Amino acid sequence: MTKIRFPACAGFHKAVKQRVEQYFMDSKLAKTGDWRMFMKTGGILLWLVISYLILVFFSTSLVGAMLMIFALAQGFALAGFNIAHDGAHDSYTKSKRINWLMGCTFDLLGGSQMLWRQKHNRLHHIYTNIYGADEDIDSSHGLLRLNPHQPWHPWHRFQHCYAFAMYSLLTLWWVTIGDFRKFFSGHIGPYKLRKPAGAEVGFFFFAKLFYFGYALILPCYFHPWLHVLLAFVGVHLILGLTLSVAFQLAHISEHSSFPTPDAHTGMMPQAWARHTVETTANFAPHNPWATWYLGGLNFQIEHHLFANICHRHYPAISTIVAETCHEFAIPYVSYPTVRVALAGHYRFLKTMGRRCNTLREHAVVSEPI
């Protein structure tokens, strides 16, 4: 595989960085989180603990168990969006140790911060929407076609009917097969993982044992194993759907760009910063509840440009980013609501399901934020 390269960053990246830096200087704010992040973290972790304890030790009816399964899944989603994500991006605090600790929430949820930092921080953030390089949009099983450069199969014409069911399997795949396959193969697609240190190997297996211990083994002492297994699968189906939809709305939609590198040189057509904006979209920017719940990931453009900045600041800097994009004639896509973004994603699935399809590159420029 030819190494993918980007042209040297031009004026846009320099301008937007300078303006965002000036915002933090003028407001005298730290780029990382503050006491409000700690309060939010405490509330989310309390939600998690209470949901788990009620589900395992106090659920006596089917209705009660189903409510707690949903509550626990949402607690996991909140922890992933708001705690683990910022920690793994080193944007939670200025302390590397605390960032690592917060990133370990991924391991608490059954994932792996070590693998996430390489798969998400490096591959997805650098090679966003590039087929063959960004595993987050690659459907290795071939059941979904999420990229116009991906081979078409007859069953794709129905993918808009079954895609969301496939999305719900995301985290169940991660914790049971995906992470172990990446760890033992040493690869994520064509990308070779760095060799983990001994301590990282030990922590990887310790965290997996701890997760399966509290998620499956301990509950079997209080409930029939089949009930425990059904609850385990139920939590992951809800969690997988929640995480998948949040991601898809930001990158896989009818106004998403899917550029390809030059076949001979590996050079991309645009500099990295412009590429990032053109392959990403915001949604529900005026919905404070969505911003709180998603950890600011509805401001995905700002997150991709400034992953080292805590999500609390995304709404404020989005105005700067949008204005700079307009100044440099770069499409800044922002869907006004979750519903509109979902409709755009659904239409994209139908478009990709047709054997002959065309994408309207950069057809929509956002509303001002």
pLDDT at position 8, please?
86
Mean pLDDT, rounded, of the chain? 91
Residue 362 has pLDDT above 50, yes or no: no
Residue 363 has pLDDT above 50, yes or no: no
The token duo for 60 is 């006596």
Q: What angle do CA 173, 290, 349 make, to 5 degrees?
A: 50
Residue 138 has pLDDT above 80, yes or no: no
- Kindly report, residue by residue over 39-49, the tens digit of the pLDDT: 999 999 999 99
Average pLDDT over residues 39-61: 95
Average pLDDT over residues 240-260: 92
Residue 157 has pLDDT above 90, yes or no: yes
Residue 368 has pLDDT above 60, yes or no: no
Assign 1 a pLDDT band (cuts: 50, 70, 90).
Answer: low
pLDDT at position 136, please?
75
Assign 140 a pLDDT band (cuts: 50, 70, 90).
Answer: low
Instruction: Identify which has the larger pLDDT, 138 or 260.
Output: 260
Q: Lowest mean pLDDT of 7-21, 131-145, 230-244, name the range.
A: 131-145
Assign 6 a pLDDT band (cuts: 50, 70, 90).
Answer: very high
Average pLDDT over residues 132-155: 84
pLDDT at position 42, please?
96
From residue 41, alpha-carbon distances to 38, 83, 92, 295 in Å are 5, 6, 10, 11
Tell me, letter by letter, the H, E, C secondary structure of the chain: CCCCECCCCCHHHHHHHHHHHHHHHHHCCCCCCCHHHHHHHHHHHHHHHHHHHHHHHHCCCHHHHHHHHHHHHHHHHHHHHHHHHHHHCCCCCCCHHHHHHHHCHHHHCCCCHHHHHHHHHHHHHHCCCCCCCCHHHCCCCCCCCCCCCCCCCHHHHHHHHHHHHHHCCHHHHHHHHHHHHHHHHCEECCEECCCCCHHHHHHHHHHHHHHHHHHHHHHHHCCCHHHHHHHHHHHHHHHHHHHHHHHHHHHCCCCCCCCCCCCCCCECCCCHHHHHHHCCCEECCCCHHHHHHCCCCCCHHHHHHCCCCCHHHHHHHHHHHHHHHHHCCCCCCEECCHHHHHHHHHHHHHHHHCCCCCCCCCCCCCCCC
- Kindly report, residue by residue over 297-344, the tens digit of the pLDDT: 999 999 999 999 999 999 999 999 999 999 999 999 999 999 999 999
Instruction: Identify which has the larger pLDDT, 78 or 142.
Output: 78
pLDDT at position 139, please?
61
pLDDT at position 360, please?
45
Assign 263 a pLDDT band (cuts: 50, 70, 90).
Answer: confident
The token duo for 287 is 């919905």
What is the distance between the alpha carbons of residues 252 and 245, in angstroms, rounded to a whole number? 10
Average pLDDT over residues 79-104: 96
Instruction: Identify which has the larger pLDDT, 188 or 343.
Output: 343
Instruction: Identify which has the larger pLDDT, 342 or 255.
Output: 342
Residue 8's Cβ-count burial label (10 Å; 0-12, 13-18, 19+) is exposed
pLDDT at position 361, please?
40
The token duo for 206 is 């310790």
